[in-house]
C-alpha cells in the first residue's frame, strides 16, 4: 500500500491544529513528526509536549522520526506522548537491535533510518526485526532541501535486500519529495512517502490531491 506522511516540520505552528485537520480531511494516512535534538542534527525542532497536545485532536497514525542521539533514552516518553511508529537513526545508537526490541515492547512499530552517506548494507543485520526502513533522501536536519539523486539507487538496493530475504517491509523516503519526482522513489521501491514543503507550502488540500494523483499514475 502507498502511504503519504506529511511532515509537520513545514507547517505553520501558529495554526498547527488547523493544518493537521486539513491534512487528515484530505486523506493522508500518517503524520510525520520530526524530532531534532541539536546534537545528532544541528537544528532543534520540538518534543513530547507538542506530540501529546496534537494527539488529542487527530486519530492519524503518528510517524515519529527521531533525529536524536541515544534514542533509547526517550522511547517510553515518545510512546506515552502518542507515537505509533518510532523511527530512530542507525548512526545514533550503539545497539539498534535492542532499540527495535524496546520499541516493540512498547507495542509500537519500529523504523530504522539511514543518512545519505550510510551504506544501505548496514541495515542488513536488522532487516528482519524492523518494520520500516527510512532511506533519507536529503541530509537530515532541515526541510526544504532538494532530493539527492543518488538516493534512487539506495532505495532500489534496500528493496532488493528485503525481497531476497522474502521480507515485505515498508521503505520510507524523506526529503525533497514532490508530486513531480515522487514516481522516481516509488519506482525504486519506496511505499511510505514523507513530504513537508510539498504538502504545507500553499494549499494543503490541493497539494495532497496532487500527490495522490501521482500515486495513482504510478499504479497504472
Ligand atoms: C528532514 C526531515 C524531513 C523534512 C522533509 O530532516 O526529516 O522530514 O521535514 O521536508 P521536505 O519534504 O520539505 O524536504
Ligand atoms: Zn523526517
Indicate if 63 belongs to the active site. Answer: no
Query: Which residue(s) pair with 22 in the sheet?
Result: none
Indicate if 128 belongs to the active site. Answer: no
Distances, alpha carbon 66 to alpha carbons 91, 113, 122, 138, 161, in Å = 12, 9, 19, 15, 24
Dihedral (Cα; 78, 82, 84, 90), 10-degree rounding: -20
What's the average model confidence in pLDDT over 37-47? 98
Proportion of the chain above pLDDT 70, given as a percent: 100
Per-residue confidence (pLDDT) for residue 194, from 0 to 100: 99
Residue 219 above 90 pLDDT? no
Computed over its alpha carbons, how large is the radius of gyration of the chain? 16
pLDDT tens digits, 201-214:
999 999 999 999 99
pTM of the predicted model, to two decimals?
A: 0.98
Find the largest Cα–Cα distance for the chain.
46
What's the average model confidence in pLDDT over 78-92? 98
The pLDDT-based confidence of 220 (bands split at 50, 70, 90) is: confident
The pLDDT-based confidence of 122 (bands split at 50, 70, 90) is: very high
Provide residues with CB under 6 Å of ligand 1. Answer: 7, 9-10, 32, 34, 65, 138, 140-145, 174-177, 194-198
Task: Provide DSSP, 105-157.
Answer: HTT-EEEEEE-TTS-GGGGGGGTTT-SEEEEESS-TT-SSPPPPTTHHHHHHH
Residue 89 above 80 pLDDT? yes
Distances, alpha carbon 185 to alpha carbons 35, 64, 126, 150, in Å = 24, 21, 22, 11
Amino acid at each position: 500500500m502507498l502511504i503519504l506522511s506529511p511532515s509537520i516540520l513545514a507547517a505553520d505552528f501558529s495554526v498547527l491544529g488547523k493544518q493537521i485537520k486539513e491534512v487528515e480531511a484530505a486523506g493522508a494516512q500518517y503524520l510525520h513528526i520530526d524530532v531534532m535534538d541539536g546534537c545528532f542534527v544541528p537544528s532543534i525542532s520540538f518534543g513530547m509536549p507538542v506530540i501529546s497536545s496534537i494527539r488529542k485532536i487527530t486519530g492519524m497514525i503518528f510517524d515519529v522520526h527521531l533525529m536524536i542521539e541515544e534514542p533509547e533514552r526517550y522511547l517510553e516518553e515518545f510512546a506515552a506522548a502518542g507515537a505509533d511508529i518510532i523511527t530512530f537513526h542507525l548512526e545514533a545508537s550503539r545497539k539498534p537491535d535492542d532499540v527495535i526490541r524496546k520499541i516493540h515492547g512498547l507495542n509500537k512499530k519500529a523504523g530504522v533510518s539511514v543518512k545519505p552517506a550510510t551504506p544501505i548494507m548496514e541495515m542488513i543485520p536488522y532487516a528482519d526485526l524492523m518494520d520500516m526502513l527510512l532511506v533519507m533522501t536529503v541530509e537530515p536536519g532541515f526541510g526544504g532541501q532538494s532530493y539527492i539523486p543518488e538516493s534512487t539507487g539506495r532505495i532500489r538496493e534496500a528493496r532488493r535486500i528485503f525481497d531476497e530475504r522474502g521480507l515485505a517491509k515498508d521503505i520510507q523516503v524523506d526529503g525533497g519529495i514532490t508530486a513531480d519526482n515522487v514516481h522516481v522513489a516509488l519506482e525504486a521501491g519506496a511505499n511510505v512517502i514523507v513530504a513537508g514543503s510539498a504538502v504545507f507550502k500553499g494549499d494543503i488540500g490541493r497539494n495532497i490531491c496532487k500527490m495522490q494523483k501521482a500515486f495513482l499514475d504510478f499504479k497504472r
